[in-house]
Amino acid sequence: MRALLVVDIQNDFCPGGNLAVPGGDAIIARVNELIEHFGHVLLTQDWHPAGHHSFASTHAGKAPFETTELAYGPQILWPDHCVQGTHGAAFHPDLHIDKAQLIIRKGFRKEIDSYSAFFENDHETPTGLAGYLRERGIDTLYLTGLATDFCVKYSALDGRAQGFTVFVVEDAVRGIDTQGSLAQAWEEMREAGVAVVSSEEVMQIA
């Protein structure tokens, strides 16, 4: 059984947002088409408390996109984004969310960031997604959303590590691309056995 996983298509990750992915809103129409082709649709939502430890503003003298050490290892420091209950944390208004059967909120623990739909950034604290998928009999995931080189990548890698078949829909994702991170992400995903497909290919089989 297949499911579509739509990663973090939220206002702050789209043009005009606090951590905008270039062209982030350009994929929404294609994602909406894909949603109509799947019986199982899952969403992730970045959901940070104010003063989250991954925010540069929480660390004196640090600027966005610098790196610091947190308890679980290196952490890129971000502009404040997707703060709980704010406009920036809401799903983009053009995204069709009514078919979603599950919304995984991540990053809500103040002391730890969360890129993956499966685990927090300590790679140990689970979100519960793997168990949900197994109980529903879902063994194959198609990933879309933002950003390719962070939350999409980590979700794809963790999905493979958990034993799922994982596809990334190439024309339904967009990346940030800091210091070559986008090319590296595609390479890491391919090496892990993540398949790359087009939305047209998906809609022919879903």
Q: End-to-end alpha-carbon separation of the chain, Å?
A: 10
Average pLDDT over residues 113-134: 96
Bridging pattern class, strands 102-106 and 67-70: unpaired
142-180 confidence digits (pLDDT tens): 999 999 999 999 999 999 999 999 999 999 999 999 889
Q: How far apart are the C-alpha atoms of 164 and 201, rounded to whole Å? A: 19
Measured between alpha carbons, how far is 122 from 62 in angstroms, rounded to an integer? 22
Query: So what's the pLDDT on residue 130?
Result: 98
Active site residue 151: yes
Question: For residue 179, what pLDDT is reported?
Answer: 84
CB of 198 within 8 A of CB of 170?
A: yes
Q: Max alpha carbon distance in the chain (Å)?
A: 52
Task: Give which of 126, 51, 114, 48 is closest to 85, Cα–Cα.
Answer: 48
Range 3-10 average pLDDT: 98
Selecting among 106, 113, 149, 153, the annotated active-site residue is 106
Using a pLDDT cut of 90, give the percent of the chain over it. 97
Burial grade of 186 (CB within 10 A; 0-12, 13-18, 19 or more)? middle
Q: Is 8 a catalytic residue?
A: yes
Catalytic entry in 14, 25, 151, 153: 151
Quickly tell me which residue has 């056995």 as its tokens: 193
Q: What is the pLDDT of residues 124-136, one digit of tens each?
A: 999 999 999 999 9
Share of the chain above pLDDT 70, in %: 100
> Strands 2-7 and 195-197, how do they pair?
unpaired
Is 206 a residue whose pLDDT tops 80?
Answer: no
**Average pLDDT value for residue range 24-50:** 98
The per-residue pLDDT for range 55-82, each reduced to its tens digit, is 999 999 999 999 999 999 999 999 999 9
Rounded to 5 degrees, what angle do the CA atoms 65, 71, 74 make?
30
